[in-house]
Amino acid sequence: MNVTLPTAQSLRAALAGLLDGLPPKQAAQAVDRLIASYRGETPTDAPILRDRSDVVAYAAYRMPATFEAVRSALDALVEVAPDWAPATHTDVGGGTGAASWAVAGAWEGAATTVLDWAEPALALGRELAGASGVPGLREARWERARIGAALELAPADLVTVSYVLKELTAQARTELVDAVAGAGQAVVIVEPGTPDGYARIIEARDRLIAAGLSIAAPCPHSGACPIAPGTDWCHFSARVSRSSLHRQVKGGSLSHEDEKFSYVVATRFPTTPAPARVTRRPQIRKGQVLLELCTRDEGLDRSTVTKRHGELYRAARNIAWGDPWPPEDSA
């Protein structure tokens, strides 16, 4: 990653500069409604974000978490395709542009187009991008489009779809995934890390494979998911730092929170998927580390790494939930 490109800190600074004028009570009320929509059954015939106050509240409440989740998924793509970089990027249902900030932080020079059906979200996204000081973001195109059925997408090296599928009917989800599969050389889809979010990811994963793409992450293979339906769900966690504004609109006191998310990365070009991936937070015990893994050849597996494993044990003590296993320099 190029550390000179956008970071979570610069995103928070841009948010703070644009959101200062919103009365805290109004922001909190809008956040409460958005939380209800995010966690419940959302109508799929209209945008969730209705006006600027909704969009401002959404940006403060959700944009930092979406940024971190998408950045984690993009990190996984960089790991398996370190020499690849997109020249063009389409962010479908991108709203205020959190995924576009993450893409601009991963690669320099990608020409981004953000599509969304909520004009207030696009408008605030333009403002935030303009305040970023990053050429790729400042030059992004923000276009209104109805997301879902009958969406026509121009070819792009990278297509991102983050926290969008939940808002769509089953038929619209199917058509959208088929559209992004046809348009993108690489496709990154992120959903909430809940059982139903995971179910939507698995559904999308199957359609991406059927369209001829190969799974690059988080799975170490393009075969069937080894998790028996209804028994568990695959999800990961990203640490999100909370600004004072973020704590104010969410009513929290901690300086951080953990965003749970599920994702899939699929490509039409060769990648080198990890032999295995850590699917739960590692359990560190005296002299040993317990790892829950999804593996290329053995499906779900539990591995105990002890001191006698030497360098591998030292690597296991520093491994994180969602990381590939084993690390290249310890394999």
Residue 18's identity, in one-letter code, is L
57 to 28, 40, 91: CA distances (angstroms): 7, 18, 21
Whether the Cβ atoms of residue 176 and residue 113 lie closer than 8 Å to each other: no
Kindly tell me the sign of the dihedral angle through the C-alpha atoms of 88, 95, 165, 69.
positive
- Distance separating alpha carbons of residues 149 and 173, to the nearest angstrom: 8
7 CB burial (10 A radius; 0-12, 13-18, 19+): middle
**Token duo for residue 118:** 């909520």
**Token duo for residue 146:** 């109805």
Write out the chain's pLDDT in tens, 331 residues: 444 456 777 888 888 776 666 666 666 666 666 666 655 555 445 555 566 777 777 787 788 899 999 999 999 999 999 999 999 999 999 999 999 999 999 999 899 999 998 888 899 999 999 888 888 899 999 999 999 878 899 999 999 999 999 989 999 999 999 999 999 999 999 999 999 999 999 999 999 999 999 999 999 999 999 999 889 999 999 988 765 555 555 555 555 688 999 999 999 999 999 999 999 999 999 999 999 999 999 999 999 999 999 999 999 999 999 999 998 765 4
Please, what is the end-to-end C-alpha distance for the chain in angstroms?
23
- Distance separating alpha carbons of residues 39 and 199, to the nearest angstrom: 15
Angle between helices 98-106 and 52-80 (to 10 degrees): 30
Whether the Cβ atoms of residue 141 and residue 114 lie closer than 8 Å to each other: yes
Kindly tell me the sign of the dihedral angle through the C-alpha atoms of 6, 70, 146, 186.
positive
pTM: 0.89
Kindly tell me the sign of the dihedral angle through the C-alpha atoms of 260, 140, 57, 150.
negative
